[in-house]
């Protein structure tokens, strides 16, 4: 079995070494050292170069190196019937949940004020008189993990997902009406959605209009979920009053972009949750074994939903 790893601009030495330990039988190639492209059986890719998939004519399956698959599904060279998988391990989901809990509770409790008080030797105890209400857009692996953590902390949490769910652990909304209800309820509205034709631009003025004054928007989905101009207008109206953004339409965010200097925008540079080599190696090997056994790769795309 020939496995190709292709994620331009990243260092894969640790990942490839670990795959070799876990599955010494695999012939692992790292782009651009592809060898004979037609011989590749399985490719794991992240923002792969245009045209690559056209050359890999012997592929049995392909996987995203991360949780998102839009770079694959939007590739016109993706063969129509090729099984597409992705890598969403427990560590990736837990790190995302940890980022959200730390950002939301740190902000809600205004922990950043205390270093300023300390500098002035001011003893000013303060804590909010209630926990925040957290609304999650998206309720997949990451959303469920975050919901579990918030529940353990007795922070009220609700979610919006594609269809009516059977998950009873937290209130679940769906449809347009449910989306607006959740937006109006949330102190923190968090976008964890996959990027599809249905979710592109979902964070727009129509949604911001439903948000509460002083609420906070957090986007850890994709930059394309957000209509940037609408957010700038909405921040001026205090609905939301703050945006914590980890993803952007163009990354790295260009120096002239207004988000950099906006007082109500907090930027983290797409690192809310990063695929770790150890976990990625285990998932890739597990996915390879499935494909070798004639099964779809791990976490296969559901074509009817577009992700």
Give catalytic residues, as residue numbers: 222, 270
Segment near its own copies (CB under 8 A); pick from 28-36, 53-61, 224-232, 251-259: 251-259
Binding its own copies by CB under 8 A: which of 55, 148, 285, 286? 148
Task: Kindly tell me which of 111 and 295 has the beta carbon lying closer to its own copies.
Answer: 111
Sequence-ordered strand ranges (E) for the chain: 2-6, 27-30, 42-45, 61-64, 84-85, 134-137, 157-160, 172-173, 188-191, 216-219, 242-245, 265-267
101 lines the binding site for its own copies (CB under 8 A): yes
154 lines the binding site for its own copies (CB under 8 A): yes
Task: Kindly tell me which of 32 and 124 has the beta carbon lying closer to its own copies.
Answer: 124
Cα separation, 103 vs 162, in Å, equals 26
Q: Please state the separation of Cα 31 from the chain's center in Å.
A: 24
97 lines the binding site for its own copies (CB under 8 A): yes
Subset of residues 267 to 296 that bind its own copies, contact rule: CB under 8 A: 267-274, 276
The three-class DSSP label of residue 157 is strand
106 lines the binding site for its own copies (CB under 8 A): yes
Do residues 195 and 70 lie in contact, with contact meaning Cβ atoms separated by under 8 Å? Answer: yes
Segment near its own copies (CB under 8 A); pick from 26-34, 70-78, 142-150, 196-204: 142-150
Which are the contacts of 149, defined by CB distance < 8 A and separation ≥ 6? 97, 98, 100, 101
Residue 154's Cβ-side half-sphere holds a number of Cα atoms within 13 Å equal to: 2
CA 185 to each of CA 111, 159, 174, 235: distance values in angstroms, whole numbers, following the listed order: 24, 11, 14, 18
47 lines the binding site for its own copies (CB under 8 A): no
Instruction: Tell me the DSSP string of 170-206.
Output: S-EE-HHHHHHHHHHH-SEEEE-----TTTTT-BSHH
Task: Kindly tell me which of 60 and 109 has the beta carbon lying closer to its own copies.
Answer: 109
Do residues 182 and 173 lie in contact, with contact meaning Cβ atoms separated by under 8 Å? Answer: yes
Binding its own copies by CB under 8 A: which of 25, 33, 112, 304? 112
Binding its own copies by CB under 8 A: which of 16, 65, 87, 155? 155
Q: What angle do CA 299, 301, 306 make, to 5 degrees?
A: 145
31 lines the binding site for its own copies (CB under 8 A): no
Binding its own copies by CB under 8 A: which of 21, 33, 80, 152? 152
151 lines the binding site for its own copies (CB under 8 A): yes
Least CB distance from residue 131 to its own copies, whole Å?
7
260 lines the binding site for its own copies (CB under 8 A): yes
Task: Kindly tell me which of 175 and 251 has the beta carbon lying closer to its own copies.
Answer: 251
Residue with tokens 């640790």: 14
Structure tokens at 204: 């727009």
Give contact residues for its own copies (rule: CB under 8 A): 90-91, 94-95, 97-99, 101-103, 105-106, 109, 111-112, 114-115, 117-118, 121, 123-127, 129-131, 145, 148-149, 151-155, 251-253, 255, 260, 266-274, 276
């Amino acid at each position: 079995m020939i496995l190709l790893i292709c994620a331009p601009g990243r260092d894969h030495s640790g990942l490839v070494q670990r795959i070799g330990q876990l599955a010494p039988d695999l012939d692992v190639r790292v782009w651009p050292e592809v060898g004979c492209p037609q011989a590749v059986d399985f490719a794991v890719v992240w923002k792969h170069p245009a045209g690559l998939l056209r050359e890999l004519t012997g592929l049995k399956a392909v996987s995203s190196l991360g949780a998102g698959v839009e770079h694959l599904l939007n590739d016109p060279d993706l063969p129509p019937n090729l099984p597409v998988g992705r890598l969403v391990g427990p560590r990736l989901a837990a790190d995302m949940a940890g980022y959200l809990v730390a950002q939301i509770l740190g902000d809600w409790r205004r922990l950043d004020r205390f270093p300023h008080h300390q500098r002035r030797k001011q003893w000013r105890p303060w804590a909010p008189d209630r926990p925040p209400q957290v609304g999650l857009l998206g309720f997949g692996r990451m959303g469920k993990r975050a919901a579990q953590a918030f529940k353990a902390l007795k922070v009220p949490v609700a979610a919006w997902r594609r269809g009516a769910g059977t998950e009873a652990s937290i209130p679940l909304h769906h449809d347009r009406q449910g989306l607006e209800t959740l937006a109006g309820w949330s102190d923190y509205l968090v976008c964890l959605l996959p990027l599809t034709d249905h979710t592109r631009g979902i964070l727009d003025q129509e949604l911001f209009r439903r948000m509460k004054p002083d609420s906070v928007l957090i986007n850890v989905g994709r930059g394309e979920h957000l209509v940037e101009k609408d957010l700038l207008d909405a921040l001026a109206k205090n609905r939301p009053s703050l945006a914590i953004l980890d993803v952007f339409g163009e990354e790295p965010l260009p120096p002239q972009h207004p988000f950099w200097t906006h007082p109500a925008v907090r930027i983290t540079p797409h690192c809310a949750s990063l695929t770790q080599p150890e976990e990625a190696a285990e998932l890739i090997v597990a996915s390879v074994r499935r494909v070798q056994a004639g099964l779809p790769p791990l976490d296969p795309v559901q074509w009817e939903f577009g992700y």
